[in-house]
A = this chain, B = another copy of it.
């Protein structure tokens, strides 16, 4: 096993008990102090970030990726603001979830505890480094970070400053651990460290997530793939529906809660499509429709693959159906279980849709773009879970915890 990885795993497992025992006050002071320190030492971060950007340019990294990689004074202030927000959230650890006397005489208390050690594998987005630390730390966990190799210098600088901030307050700097090795084999080895790591969260594109699910022996929470649909029922208010579709498709095209596919009731297509197509084209959105869509507006013909694709781009697929049942069947076939929405004035169809769609968030007359920890009032989020085990939808502090049962009695044994 890679020496650095083994050292970090062992350290993390030993350190988790120290982090679990920190009081809310200790954790908040540390988060606020680190927020200041990141701003005060922003030039140090920016200098290291410059190295990553230069490497990226020489490797012909795309504009989008370079933008995600870039840190500025303002963006660092944004990161610090995030830490301060997490400091303001309620500490979940120690919460009594249930407490009762069982029929057999046992006093049973179910109490919220940290997961222990959380591994996070992510792409070259240095802002995730501080975000992931703040959420895992506030929820009493030790974090092991494996960021994209293109951001390694930025990540090292951020982690160094966080460690300094913890040390300033006499808190173990091993609460945060960065794997500096950039070899792919080390990432694969990391996914096998079930003995040391309690939970693994991949943050990134579909390829990264698939690789983690296929290789990990550690329990995984899948996040972020969003092939989101909006179904426009025959009774939808067209005037109000078009701005929602435009918002869900174009406000930010690269995010998991953006809409990728429209399902349209055949009785509304003639009224909806011409106006909608005009608005979409004004924003350079390409339309890929089925044959019935193409009877009403000009468009590329959609393939099966289109319906299965999360574009994350200025493209939208469209399909015409003859009723809500057909819409549900189509969406359940292609959903990635993230966010789905119905536009309708028919309460029965709204209920049916919400009951039958197999997704974390099922909306009525609302943009899918709202699936987000802040928008849901969780205060922050580590990602959007698209699986059903443990957490579903936006994951805040509570979703980074487990529980245990504390039981006492006066020397009872089982009859």
| Chain A residues within CB distance 8 Å of chain B | 17, 20-21, 100, 102-104, 106, 108, 115-116, 194, 198-199, 213-214, 217, 219-221, 237, 240-241, 243-244, 247-248, 251, 343, 350, 354-356, 358-367, 369-370, 375-377, 387-390, 392-393, 402-414
Q: Which residue of B lies closest to A109 (CB)?
A: B354
* Contact of B388 with A199 in the complex, beta carbons under 8 Å: yes
Known: A104-B375, A115-B388, A390-B390. A405 touches B362 (CB 8 A): yes
Q: Which residue of B lies closest to A388 (CB)?
A: B402
Distance in Å: Cβ of A45 to nearest Cβ of chain B: 30
A392 neighbours in B (Cβ, 8 Å): 402-405
A405 neighbours in B (Cβ, 8 Å): 360-362, 376, 392-393
Partner of A389, one of B350, B389, B404, B412: B389
- A362–B113 Cα distance when bound, in Å, is 13
- A299–B153 Cα distance when bound, in Å, is 58
A406 neighbours in B (Cβ, 8 Å): 354, 362, 364
* Contact of B388 with A355 in the complex, beta carbons under 8 Å: no
A21 neighbours in B (Cβ, 8 Å): 355
Distance in Å: Cβ of A384 to nearest Cβ of chain B: 11
Q: Which residue of B lies closest to A363 (CB)?
A: B407
- A354–B241 Cα distance when bound, in Å, is 55
Distance in Å: Cβ of A251 to nearest Cβ of chain B: 6
* Contact of B350 with A413 in the complex, beta carbons under 8 Å: no
* Contact of A408 with B361 in the complex, beta carbons under 8 Å: no
A–B complex contacts, Cβ < 8 Å, 8 sampled: A104-B370, A194-B213, A247-B413, A364-B407, A365-B408, A375-B414, A388-B402, A393-B404
* Contact of B364 with A413 in the complex, beta carbons under 8 Å: no
* Contact of A248 with B106 in the complex, beta carbons under 8 Å: no
Known: A104-B375, A389-B389. A369 touches B414 (CB 8 A): yes
A355 neighbours in B (Cβ, 8 Å): 20-21
Partner of A412, one of B354, B370, B390, B404: B370
Distance in Å: Cβ of A240 to nearest Cβ of chain B: 4
Distance in Å: Cβ of A262 to nearest Cβ of chain B: 15
Q: Which residue of B lies closest to A239 (CB)?
A: B411
- A407–B368 Cα distance when bound, in Å, is 10
Q: Which residue of B lies closest to A408 (CB)?
A: B364
* Contact of A214 with B214 in the complex, beta carbons under 8 Å: no
A359 neighbours in B (Cβ, 8 Å): 404
- A410–B292 Cα distance when bound, in Å, is 29
A407 neighbours in B (Cβ, 8 Å): 361-364, 366, 370
